[in-house]
Structure 1
């Protein structure tokens, strides 16, 4: 038996990196998982390669109607929704005095607005389902995990847009925890530091070389290690962890300056 048997999950941005590792781990422990990516073919490929019951959904979550469609796809495939991991995102770095409006707003859209829209669309299956359980005398926990960053909790040089968007996701997390806690929907976030992904592979060599010096554990995390933190917040072992931002940075207390 898996700890997540009978559960259904959406992991956005899950064809690669942290999202892929998270989807794989959830499926390994019994969850049915909807794999999402901007590239529909990559989403299908990941779905086929991950052991367990999965489905796929390709689409740009920043486009009108797509966040609602990904939720509906999960309901159509699995008949229920118990776990949402808002992981999709990317970086578009630049210093403030040279940053245009489009560049700033793009980060807000993918890292703050998209999770809001996904969660709003999921409300009938999380909040309302929990309300029905409460009225029937049942206590069933459902889970939301938002992927943020230490850039959002302490800022980072050249990432005003990304940091602001990830900080906004922290605010969304804490507010939703207050609104949905009564219905046994745990809402938490994980603030990652340097994780070896496609996004961090594009960092300048100077930044990559300094990582062992600023991370007390001496190296960046692997996606599988990042996924473990998210997984914990999706399990019954975290039922009394609520409204929290868990920092998973190997002890790093500064940005990648």
Structure 2
């Protein structure tokens, strides 16, 4: 069919998940003046999201746009609180669903268990967001093998295992939609430390660079199966990993207490914000917005890419 209004309206209808162009008024997010309900971007989709902070914001945002969400965190209470918030908000707004999965993403069986819960609760899996992680900083010449290995395990091996566990479900879902605009997608969270390097983070930077390689390999392997795979490299986002270390946030790793945050973060933020054209730190909600953009049908032809979300700090 040649380009023209009819074809473009037909494509838009498919992107918004409606049967024909006659339903576009109720589905178009901009067409609200008539009082018609807005069709959720992710209606009928199931998203599995790991980690707190950006993960929590992403769970809420994707649920608000129609996705059923599987909220995964090492802290079971925190995961349940997020799932409860999703259920409360979405039940009030549009009847959405959420479940919580507690567990350490580095556990060898975590991927199978989390994907299994998605299938049990919602019957499918369409969106996988590998977000869980932490930092364990140190200069390279003083870094222990444990510090090095821990970052590779949580930022590279854990996402790989989840992707492997999700393969059957995501491939099947994508193949079923092979003639439509919806495809399954994987979003791996990287960092500007991985794309540009960062002093004091040789372990974290290496692991996050590995995420980029994993993303591109999976994008090439699974593209013919109608599965997209992209990465997002975040800059300075306001989470517990970037707040003052003096606040006392920590995580237990192999019996050790690993402090989280940045020493003298206020001074560091001031210095860093001067290098950011937008002159501020990003929020978890803004980070989640980038995740929604890549997960949505509007990015159905985007795969194998690394989206940098950093306020312009690295150009």
With the length of structure 1 as denominator, give the TM-score of the two structures: 0.94
Instruction: Number of aligned residue pairs: give it.
Output: 250
Report deviation, 1:133: 5.1
Aligned alpha-carbon RMSD (Å): 1.4
Counterpart-to-counterpart distance in 2, 1:161 and 1:131: 37
Q: Does 1:237 align with 2:295?
A: no
User: What residue number does 2:12 align with?
Assistant: none
Partner of 1:24: 60
Of 129, 150, 163, which residue of structure 2 is paired with 1:106? 150
Deviation at 1:132, TM superposition (A): 5.5
Q: Could you list the per-position Cα deviations for residues 14-68 of structure 1 after superposition, in whole angstroms to 9, with x for gaps in the alignment? A: xx31111110000000000001110111111111112231100000111121121
CA distance in 2, matches of 1:105, 1:164: 11
Secondary structure at the aligned position of 2:166 is classed as helix
Secondary structure, counterpart of 1:126 in structure 2: helix
Equivalent in 210, 226, 235 of residue 184 of structure 1: 226
Cα shift at 1:89: 0.4
**SS where residue 198 of structure 1 aligns?**
coil
Q: Does 1:8 align with 2:8?
A: no
Q: 1:131 to 1:246 in 2, by over 3 A?
A: same
Contact 2:125 2:173 in 1 (8 A): no
Query: Contact 2:57–2:284 (CA<8 Å) still a contact in 1?
Result: yes
For 2:232 and 2:84, locate their aligned partners in 1 and report how far apart those are by CA, in whole Å: 27
Distance 2:209 2:143 in 1: 18
Give the corresponding residue for 1:164. 206
Separation of aligned partners in 1, 2:292 and 2:212: 19
**Higher Cα radius of gyration:** 2
More relative contact order, 1 or 2 (CA 8 Å, 6+ apart) = 1
Please state how far the C-alpha of 1:130 moved relative to its aligned partner. 3.0
Partners of 1:9 and 1:246 lie apart in 2 by 20
Distance 1:96 1:138 in 2: 49
Q: Does 1:70 align with 2:114?
A: yes
Distance in 1, Cα, partners of 2:145 & 2:223: 36
Structure 1 segments of 4+ aligned residues over 6 angstroms from their partners: none
1:192-231, Cα deviation, whole Å (9 max, x unpaired): 0000001100212232221221111101101101110010
- Secondary structure of the residue aligned to 2:242 is helix
User: For residues 73 and 227 of structure 1, what CA distance do their matches in structure 2 show?
Assistant: 23
Aligned partners of 1:139 and 1:184 also within 8 Å = no
> For residues 68 and 216 of structure 1, what CA distance do their matches in structure 2 show?
42
Q: Which runs of 5+ in 2 are unaligned?
A: 1-38, 91-96, 244-260
CA distance in 2, matches of 1:82, 1:160: 33
> 1:1-257 alignment to 2 at 5 Å?
1-13=39-51, 16-50=52-86, 51-52=89-90, 53-131=97-175, 134=178, 140-201=182-243, 202-205=261-264, 206-253=267-314
